[in-house]
Structure 1
Amino acid sequence: YGSIPYVDHKNNKETNPFTFNKMADIYETIVDNLDTINACLKHYEQRPGWYKSRLNGILQQSDWVTKDFSIDTWRRFANSLKLRMAMHIVKVDRTKAQKWAQEAVTEGVIETENQEIALDPVVSGFTHPLVDISKLWGDSRLNASFESLLFSLKHPYVQDDYALFEKNSSQIVNETNPEEIEPTNSRIVGLRAGISMVSGQTVSVNPRIAYSAVSSNRISMAPLYLMKLSEVQFLRAEGAVRNWAMGGSAQSFYEAGIRSAQLDQRTNSQYGEKVDEYMSVEEPVAYAYTDPMDHTNDIASVTKIGVKWNEGDTPETKLEKIITQKYIAGFPYSYEAWNDLRRTGYPKIFPVLNVEDGDGSLVQGDLIRKIPLPGRDTSAGLSDIQTSGIEALGGTDTQGTRVWWDVEGSNF
């Protein structure tokens, strides 16, 4: 949003008027809270036995997101969140970003798969919601930029024996040449971002439904990560490229991040069998995206980097490699990917189509920089936005307005 009534929400205020707070102030408050949480949880091991026993009982009963029901893991989660937030602000306040990041690493962040924070379908008894969203609702399909990126880098996610996405579920007929037909189950094919869609959730009324959905077999039991080990490793890799004290080299964290990046359960060994070959890719494949329905959407790959780490690369190229692999590892969790796209410009993606369908503020080809301030669906909410929201935002409440930490300019 760029700004929210953070203090009011934190105080459980439920009715208007709400007062919006500046994002810079919100970040300061959250990091202060995380520091307090970390300091508190550090004392756990010095607590008496009866205290630890009672707390362990509460964790065993109520903790659904850690694997080890450990206070230390919760503490590491707090510090990992601080590290994430530090990297968000690197272009608006590099000194503070470095300070927060180094403090987080010193205090201890997530360092093993057993310390990841996630809702696990195996434990919780549900399937990954993206399966229903994609397969039952017909509301989600592979993005063409992601298709191109994965094929350009020869990623395991698009290899036939390990594909994360299904091939087209029905034949796809070209709109201008009906004799040009993509046969059923012939290829993995995505949709361009911003494409004009038609209503309907069956192929008979909306042919775009035939484009690639996620594989139920591969994703149904995948964890819903709140903090994935690979994200923390890529954050530390980026910090190391910036010459911050991250406890290791950029290369070591980058390569570790790729090894721990798989979406499905870690018990599936196929990713591990393929990852060495993937990490040896030095140059991208000259891939070209083609839209079977409308060739005006066709476009050549914009991926110009490989996967293999090269210490001789410029810091900018190293950053692009890190963020590109972080983007892949984060799928399908979208918010951090969106944050990275806005603050770094990576990974490189196709220009967004039909930006005129937005609110008129978007630059041709650019992605949405923020979503409208919350509460505008009521007169009271609009009044709050006019009274404090616009001032706290520091700009117009439009899709093209950059939030506080999303500043133009060099990444270094």
Structure 2
Amino acid sequence: MNKIKYTTALLLGGLLSFSSCTDNFADFNSTEGAYTDELQKYDNQTNLVPFSTIQKGIIYQTGVDGTDWQYQIVQNLVADMFCGYFHDMTGSFNANNSTYNLNNGWTSAMWVYTYGYVMPSIADAEALNTEKEWPLYHAITKILKVATLHRVSDYYGPILYDGFGTADQKPQSQEEVYKRFFEDLGTAVNILKDYKGGISFESADFMMPEGKRTPAQWLKFANSLRLRLAMRVSNAAPELAEEQAKAALDAANGGVLETANETVGEYGIRNPLGGVAGWSEVYMNANLESFLKGYNDPRLKSYFNPAQDGRDKDGNIIKEVAGVKQLGSIEGDYKGVRQGTGVADNRYSTHSQTTITTGSKIIVMSAAEVWFLRAEAALRGYTSEDVENCYKQGITVSFSQWDANGVSDYLESEETPAAYVDAFDKKFDADAPTSITPKWDESATPEQKLERIITQKWLALYPEGCEAWAEQRRTGYPQLIKVAVNNSGNTISTDDMIRRVFFNQDYKTDNKALYDALVGKLGGADNGGTRLWWDTGRNNF
């Protein structure tokens, strides 16, 4: 087993430039610590060992205390912020991604860690688990590979997918790789729906809830993932999207996620978002404040903790933070940080922080998301389902997932997002980005219906920023508050907002052949203003 891993690492050669340490590598690449080759022969451990790394690598983490910073630079300082969920209160962070002055060490981390740690284990699993000998493991490998690599493509565009670590390895365009995603998911679905049992994956499975670690549940996940990606390409390739959406929702293929207790995640593993939050570096983004407070959304208290006024060393309220005077009390309120202020101090340190802890389950995909996908598929005419019913089911399942009350009133709410009021400087105030309401309006235009669907989907996807950012770019919804300061050097439009992150800039000198090949497949400049293939800038109906 290790021969494959080490060979792959050798073949990578100059492909990856590591600017970070590789702490806990051995633990990261085993199911229960260290296994010798001999021990791995028992209970199919030789086949199962790679899956621990792969499952942890979807939403990147090691599950080990002390490595949460890796998740922070892979996702929290990138997609989690750009999607409008989170922001760091630390002034030093405002000089980089927040103001579109992209930090290469952060924006390259998704690529570096996925291809440095996760893809070698995917290559192991592909080599070990052939369809003929190990059909169940073969199918699950394909599902996990797509679940991992579509996130990478949604950051950069072109990626390495087929032939990884071999002489045939070469970049593929996003259009090419998405078609391969569908092929691999189709293969997995065909295997799983006909699987008769005999081999179990339960001992290595920590993504499905207890009691649901079955081939049938993995089949539901495969179909749900297929539906997610089908809607992702709906503006760029509507015929392909319709074909894949219909296949995903074909009852004969095994169904999709439908209930709150079917959340696909990572159970019993340290949540790295909670680790970063423990350093007081995960705060509410002003966009979530606008929508959650404007809607009087009952999920607000499940998502964030209240803010507080400034205090001196004795705990007395002084209404001043980092030497900056507050304009009014925020005690007990829910306050977010606007992206792109560029302030150099820590004035927002008393604002609302996430409730996510290291013990919270890591959410990869929820049934609520799937209901919103079904709503959009019906809106586009791909299915005959009732759009309004699917939309309401999405909200209802999300409320159930977060143990929130009041869903009936919320579904009838005509509240709108609130204006953002900065606690310290009025120049950072912002009008509400939209007037869309939770209440369904059957007389609305298809575009207005899509905005309503995606806005609620965005609220339900929390705290999974990669998916939220991809969908916001694809559809333009929810409409977000723009950055106050744009330091991109005119490569990113303030109005159009950031569209992607650039490839590892070290490759320009360390691996120019790879860099040039990736940019060639991108079809545009390697900067944050270039749209990805599925990001057409319009919604086709």
TM range (shorter): 0.7 to 0.9
CA contact (8 A) 1:149 1:303 kept: no
The aligned counterpart of 1:212 is: 352
Q: Distance in 2 between matches of 1:166 and 1:105?
A: 38
1:116/1:227 contact within 8 Å kept: yes
Deviation at 1:114, TM superposition (A): 4.0
CA displacement 1:167-216 (0-9 Å, x = unmatched)? 224425389984x5544634211111222143xxxxxx622222211135
Among residues 148, 162, 179, which one is paired with 1:28 in the alignment?
A: 179
Tell me the residue number matched to 2:119. Answer: none
Q: Distance in 1 between matches of 2:276 and 2:189?
A: 37
Question: Whole-Å Cα distance in 2 between the matches of residues 364 and 290 of structure 1?
Answer: 20
- 2:512 aligned with 1:382, yes or no? yes
Residue 256 (structure 2) pairs with residue 256 (structure 1): no
Counterpart-to-counterpart distance in 1, 2:239 and 2:275: 44
- The partner residue of 1:105 within 249, 257, 262 is 249
- 1:257-299 per-position Cα deviation (integer Å, ceiling 9, x unaligned): 101114xx84x74x1x3211111102426x2211112110111
Contact 1:168/1:187, CA 8 A, preserved across alignment: yes
Look up the SS of the partner of 2:529 in the other structure: coil
In the aligned structure 2, how far is the partner of 1:368 from the partner of 1:309? Answer: 30
Contact 1:231-1:329 at 8 Å conserved across structures: yes
Q: 5 Å matches for 1:5-404? A: 5-8=160-163, 11-13=164-166, 19-44=170-195, 47=196, 52-53=197-198, 55-56=199-200, 59-67=201-209, 68-106=212-250, 107=253, 108-120=255-267, 124=268, 126=270, 128-134=271-277, 136-158=278-300, 162-171=301-310, 173=320, 178=325, 180-183=326-329, 185-198=331-344, 206-215=346-355, 221-245=359-383, 248-262=385-399, 266=401, 269=403, 271=404, 273-284=405-416, 287-355=418-486, 357-374=487-504, 376-377=506-507, 379-386=509-516, 388-404=517-533
Report the more deviating stretch, 100-109 or 28-37: 100-109
Structure 1 CA distance for aligned equivalents of residues 324 and 217 of structure 2: 58
Looking at structure 1, the residues matched to 470 and 540 of structure 2 have their Cα atoms a distance apart, in angstroms, of: 14
Q: What's the CA shift string for 1:122-148, capped at 9, x where partnerless?
A: xx164x4323212x3232211101100
After superposition, the Cα gap between the structure-2 partners of 1:20 and 1:193, relative to the gap in structure 1 and judged at 3 Å, is same
> Post-superposition shift, 1:117?
1.2
Distance apart, 1:343 and its partner CA: 1.2
Q: Is the 8 A contact 1:280 1:307 kept in 2?
A: yes
Alpha carbons of 1:190 and 1:396: their partners in 2 closer, same or farther (altered >3 Å)?
Answer: same
Once residues 380 and 7 of structure 1 are traced to their aligned partners in structure 2, the CA distance between those partners, rounded to angstroms, is 22
Q: Give the direction of change, closer, same or farther, for the CA distance of 1:64–1:177 in structure 2 (3 Å limit).
A: closer
| Matched-pair contact (CA < 8 Å) for 1:64–1:119 | yes
Deviation at 1:377, TM superposition (A): 4.8
Task: Give the paired residue count.
Answer: 373
Contact 1:174/1:294 (CA < 8 Å) preserved in 2?
Answer: no
8 Å CA contact retained: 1:375, 1:381: no
Name the aligned partner's letter for residue 329 of structure 1: A
Structure 1 residues 176, 112: closer, same or farther in 2, change over 3 A?
A: closer
Q: Is the 8 A contact 1:290 1:298 kept in 2?
A: yes
Q: Secondary structure at the match of 2:398?
A: coil
Distance of 1:63 and 1:157 partners within structure 2: 29
Q: What TM-score, normalized to structure 2? A: 0.64
Q: 1:131 & 1:5 partners in 2: Cα distance?
A: 31
Give the partner amino acid of 1:27.
Y
Please say if residues 308 and 333 of structure 2, whose CA atoms lie closer than 8 Å, have aligned partners that are also in contact: no
1:332 positional shift: 0.9
- 1:372 and 1:381 map into 2 onto residues whose CA distance is 15
Counterpart of 2:57 in structure 1 is: none
Q: Greater shift after overlay, 233-242 or 17-26?
A: 17-26
2: CA distance, partners of 1:30 / 1:177: 50
Q: Tell me the equivalent position of 1:202.
A: none
Kindly provide the amino acid, as one letter, of the partner of residue 133 in structure 1. V
Q: Please state whether the residue corresponding to 1:118 is helix, strand or coil.
A: strand
- Deviation (angstroms), 1:353: 2.3
Rounded to whole Å, the distance in 1 between the matches of 2:280 and 2:414 is: 37
By how many angstroms is 1:100 displaced? 0.8
User: 2 CA distance for matches of 1:341 and 1:112?
Assistant: 24
Contact 2:447 / 2:539 at 8 angstroms: preserved in 1?
no
Q: Look up the equivalent residue of 2:534 and give its one-letter code.
A: W
Deviation per CA, 1:302-342, whole angstroms, max 9, x where unpaired? Answer: 23111111222211111111000000000110111111111
CA distance in 2, matches of 1:374, 1:181: 42
CA distance in 2, matches of 1:22, 1:177: 48
**Cα distance change of structure 1 residues 100 and 117 upon mapping to structure 2, 3 Å threshold:** same
Give the C-alpha shift of residue 401 in structure 1.
0.1
2: CA distance between counterparts of 1:76 and 1:303? Answer: 35
Contact persistence 2:502–2:528 (CA under 8 A): yes
State the SS of the aligned residue for 2:364: strand
Tell me the equivalent position of 1:3.
158
Cα RMSD after superposing both structures: 2.5
Q: Determine the C-alpha separation between the residues in 1 that align with 2:514 and 2:394.
A: 43
The CA distance in 2 between the partners of 1:87 and 1:173, in whole Å, is: 47
SS in 2 for 1:148: helix
1:165 shift after superposition: 1.6
CA distance in structure 2 between the partners assigned to 1:358 and 1:325 by the alignment:
30
Structure 1 residues 34 and 281: CA distance shift in structure 2, 3 A: same
1:112, distance to aligned residue in structure 2 (A): 2.9
| Equivalent residue, structure 1, for 2:71 | none
